Amino acid sequence: MTSTQKAPKNDVPERPRSAPVRRRWWIGLLVLCLLAIGAYALLSKWGRAQPRAARQEAPAARALPVVAVAAKRADIGVYLAGLGSVTPLNTITVKSRVDGQLMEVPFREGQIVREGDVLAEIDPRPFQVQLTQAEGQMARDQALLKNAQLDLQRYRVLVAQDSIAKQQLDTQESLVRQYEGAIKVDQGQIDSAKLQLIYCHITVPISGRLGLRLVDPGNIVHATDANGLVVITQLQPIAVVFAIPEDSLPQVLAKLKAGARLPVEAYDREGRQKLAVGSLLTVDNQIDPSTGTVRLKAVFPNEDNGLFPNQFVNAHLLLDVKRGATVVPTAAIQRSPQSAFVYVVKADQTVAMRPVTIGVSQGDETSINAGLVPGDLVVTNGVERLREGARVELQAGGDNSPRKSN
């Protein structure tokens, strides 16, 4: 019992000596972990900062590719633009002038026809019968007139011999005049029948383009039919009716009063393709109060049939020509809240923002009233990446000739 009780007393003093050793070991391990984490964070931050700094310095060192064009001196037109539609000078609905059966329609739908061409044939036989009757009636009346004239000559001799009464001579003279009147009526009936026969041959009244056929052969047509046989639209020449603001009307009237011939260009719906060139014909006699515009009519030869009736077009009226203007591509002009500007390429291959005053535009070109001189090299492509003082590299696709001045 005594030996077993002393053994536990010998083990108790050793535990306090091993606990501080393990505690220091854990503390050291924790410090090493914290140092490793801190070193990793510093290295990661430094690694991210290097590419960012490189990226921030790259734009300043790399030249941006752009396309530049030199400003030039040229004449540019002052245009008035308006929306319009193509209007034929003449549109005719061909109708029959007599009643009868439509025998033949010798034309194709959409065909170009000339004045005098035959369009349709109506059965002429009823009118030939009328002509024969009228000619027979006239022959009968002519025979009666001739006999009455012979009797009149006899009565005049008898009256001179005092063989008959004067009243009988007057009656015979009246009968002769009646027959003469009947012959005139017969002649009118003959002419009417011949005219109906002419109307049986329906011809083209004006040169133009045929529409769709409205009546088929074999049908009975009447002079009172509303639809007619076919519609003819004149294509050469042809007109365009368009509108301009009322504020521009005095300038147009002044040009017309001076006898100037104002050219008009017709463009397609998108305003890119030129369809035809004509001249201003006239101005409407009143302003539309609902829109504040006035209508103008221009006439076009339309020899190539580039304009079609009721076609929508953009009309450009050339009002004046600005001589010797400084002209640049419209794509070079940029806009800011303060003003319009362009990027000018300097001799050291850097760009500078140059404020400009914009003039008139014609197609893809715009005149500059102030801010540029002919020869200045302006950027037309690649402007979205440029800043003041950015270095650029000129690419093919533009006029990269040296500038005359900075």
Q: Do 384 and 340 share a domain, yes or no?
A: yes
Within a domain: residue 284? Answer: no
Closest CA to 125 of 187, 200, 195, 192: 200
Q: Has residue 406 got a pLDDT over 50?
A: no
My answer on whether 54 and 69 are in the same domain is no
With 0-12 / 13-18 / 19 or more C-beta atoms within 10 angstroms meaning exposed / middle / buried, residue 375 is middle
Residue 56 within a domain:
yes
Number of domains in the chain: 2
Q: Are residues 71 and 34 in the same domain?
A: no
Domain boundary pick from 6, 35, 61 = 61
Same domain, yes or no, for 364 and 382? yes
Same domain? For 55 and 27 the reply is yes
Instruction: Specify whether 71 is located in the same domain as 46.
Output: no
**Any idea what DSSP says for residue 324?**
E
Quick one: pLDDT band at residue 404, thresholds 50, 70, 90? very low
Let me know whether 23 and 71 are in one domain. Answer: no
Question: Is 125 in contact with 105 (CB distance < 8 Å)?
Answer: no
Q: Model confidence over 167-211: pLDDT tens digits?
A: 999 999 999 999 999 999 999 999 999 999 999 999 999 999 999
Is 48 domain-assigned? yes
Residue range(s) defining the domain that contains residue 335: 64-75+324-394
| Within-domain flag for 123 | no
Residues 390 and 366 in one domain: yes
Question: Which of 61, 86, 117 is the last residue in one of the domains?
Answer: 61
Helix (H) or strand (E) holding 283: strand 274-288
| Residue 365 placed within a domain | yes
3 state DSSP class of 149: helix
Residues 343 and 367 in one domain: yes
For residue 137, being part of any structural domain is answered with no
Residue 290: CB partners within 8 Å, gap ≥ 6?
none
List, for residues 40-76, the tens digit of each pLDDT value: 766 666 556 555 544 444 444 488 898 999 999 988 8
Q: Is 379 found in the same domain as 332?
A: yes
CA distances from 242 to 167, 279, 283 (A): 78, 13, 10
For strands 351-362 and 340-345, give the pairing.
antiparallel
pLDDT mean over 28-50: 67
The DSSP symbol for 222 reads: -
Say whether pLDDT at 374 is over 80.
yes
Residue 22 lies in a domain: yes
- In a domain, residue 207? The reply is no
Per-residue pLDDT averaged across 30-34, rounded? Answer: 74
pTM score of the predicted model:
0.64
The predicted pLDDT at position 45 comes to 61
Cα dihedral 205, 206, 209, 210, rounded to 10, equals -10
Q: Of the ranges 10-24, 168-182, 290-304, which one carries the lowest mean pLDDT score?
A: 10-24
30 and 71 within one domain:
no
DSSP per-residue codes, 103-118 = EE----TT-EE-TT-E
Cα 242 from Cα 236, distance rounded (Å): 19
> What CATH code is carried by the domain that includes residue 354?
2.40.420.20
